[in-house]
């Protein structure tokens, strides 16, 4: 059982052919930010033909099982982040690219823990730049 198969099983997911191919693209190299469309195109470029419905299914199920994080940046499409540790983003509005900002680089204080008795699920910071 290889690393990717273990990663999927540990998350409670069946390691199907399509999930493994997508995992290989997403998780075997440097961390990245993808949209459904960018992922679909990149896989097509590598002659990996997975239906767009499956791309959406996999992005959503990976997100709900903690392997990806969804980022709301642009109301016209969802971004998914392979970096699931707490961090923030630069967003380059012209190119649509994202770049990580570590929590050491940018400090928020006081870091909120609760609001009206409700737990804080996450703190999203997006710094929008022209480029």
Partner DNA sequence: CAACTAGTTTAGAATAGTTCTAAAATAAAC
Partner DNA sequence: GTTTATTTTAGAACTATTCTAAACTAGTTG
- Of the candidates 16, 41, 64, 102, which one interacts with DNA according to CB under 7 A? 16
How far is Cα 60 from Cα 70, in angstroms, rounded to an integer?
Answer: 9
How far is Cα 89 from Cα 73, in angstroms, rounded to an integer?
Answer: 10
Question: What is the phi-psi region of residue 106: left when phi exceeds 0, alpha when psi lies from -120 to 50, beta otherwise?
Answer: beta
Least distance from DNA to the Cβ atom of residue 107, Å = 31
Under rule CB under 7 A, residue 78 binds DNA: yes
Q: Which of residues 41-100 bind its own copies (CB under 8 A)?
A: 70, 72-75, 77-78, 90, 92-93
Q: Match 């710094």 to its residue by tokens.
A: 127
- Of the candidates 2, 29, 45, 76, which one interacts with DNA according to CB under 7 A? 76
Q: Match 């996450």 to its residue by tokens.
A: 122
How far is Cα 40 from Cα 73, in angstroms, rounded to an integer?
Answer: 19
Give residues in contact with its own copies (CB under 8 A): 70, 72-75, 77-78, 90, 92-93, 106-110, 112, 114-131
Give residues in contact with Zn ion (CB under 5 A): 81, 83, 100
């Amino acid at each position: 059982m290889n690393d990717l198969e273990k990663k999927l099983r540990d998350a409670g997911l069946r390691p199907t052919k399509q999930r493994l191919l997508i995992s290989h693209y997403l998780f075997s190299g440097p961390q990245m930010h993808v949209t459904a469309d960018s992922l679909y195109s990149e896989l097509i470029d590598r002659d990996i033909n997975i239906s767009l419905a499956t791309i959406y299914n996999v992005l959503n199920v990976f997100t709900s099982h903690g392997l990806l994080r969804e980022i709301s940046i642009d109301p016209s499409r969802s971004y998914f982040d392979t970096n699931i540790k707490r961090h923030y983003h630069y967003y380059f509005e012209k190119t649509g690219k994202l770049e990580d900002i570590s929590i050491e680089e940018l400090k928020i204080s006081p870091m909120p823990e609760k609001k009206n008795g409700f737990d804080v699920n996450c703190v999203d910071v997006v710094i929008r730049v022209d480029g």
